[in-house]
Amino acid sequence: MSQSLIFDMDGTLFQTNTILEISLQETFNHLEALDLWDKETPIEKYREIMGVPLPVVWETLLPDHSNEVRQRTNEFFHEQLLANINRGNGALYPNVKEVLSYLKDKNFSIYIASNGQIEYLNTIVIYYKLDKWVTETFSIQHLQTLNKTDLVRTIVTKYNIENGAVIGDRLSDINAAKSNGLLAIGCNFDFAQEDELSQADIIIDSLLELKIVLAKLNAEYTKVNN
């Protein structure tokens, strides 16, 4: 099996919920101060749609607001996310660094493909020093289509990946894997949904399981091709 792994970021490597609630609350407090909001902060609604591109997020959370207000709100929210990461309020999932270090030592090439914005992803990568293991991070902002499948295809094409896996928690990750001829490894983490995960080739409950899963797959591949 090709030594190439493409990870999602939010809900897979990074525990987005550690900064999500506080950043969203700060954002809707801001809207309320501007007389643009008078309801409860829609945290649960945001959890339901985690993983979709940000324009879709604000169309969903602010259906009755103008595109201009949505854009300004997105910018404010983004600023709060970055600030909370840099304040140390965020967290990686357990064993992320251990697993990435292990995979790197086993000569896996590691990439990140995320619907997050470029600056947001770079802030996480820099703060947690993920660039020690990650070859390159790709944001949906790099594409006009805002499509995860197209984003993964960009990585596959750039690095000539023939076999490998996409590791993520949502259906967009699973679809991106299968559409590009890659293995779909679903992460049963915070934002995962059972009906979506059921479409993955393999489901893991912890990133540590990747060690066993990938070793087994590699052994099977070697056996078949020898």
48's tokens = 């339901």
Q: Which two tokens stand for residue 65?
A: 């607001």
Token readout for 107 is 């000569």
Q: Which phi and psi angles does 16 have, rounded to 5°?
A: -60, -30
Which residues, in sequence order, are bridge partners of residue 136?
A: 111
- Which phi and psi (to 5°) does residue 124 adopt? -65, -45
What pTM was estimated for this model as a whole?
0.89
DSSP 38: -
**Coil/strand/helix, residue 91:** coil
Radius of gyration in angstroms for the set of CA atoms belonging to the chain, rounded to a whole number: 18
Q: From first to last of its 226 residues, what are the pLDDT tens digits of the chain?
A: 458 999 999 999 999 989 988 999 999 999 999 999 999 999 889 888 876 777 889 999 999 999 999 999 999 999 999 999 999 999 999 999 999 999 999 999 999 999 998 999 999 999 999 999 999 999 999 898 889 999 999 999 999 998 899 999 999 999 999 999 999 999 999 888 999 999 999 999 999 999 999 988 877 766 666 6
Q: With H, G, I as helix, E, B as strand and everything else as coil, classify residue 82.
A: helix
What tokens were used for 197? 């995960």
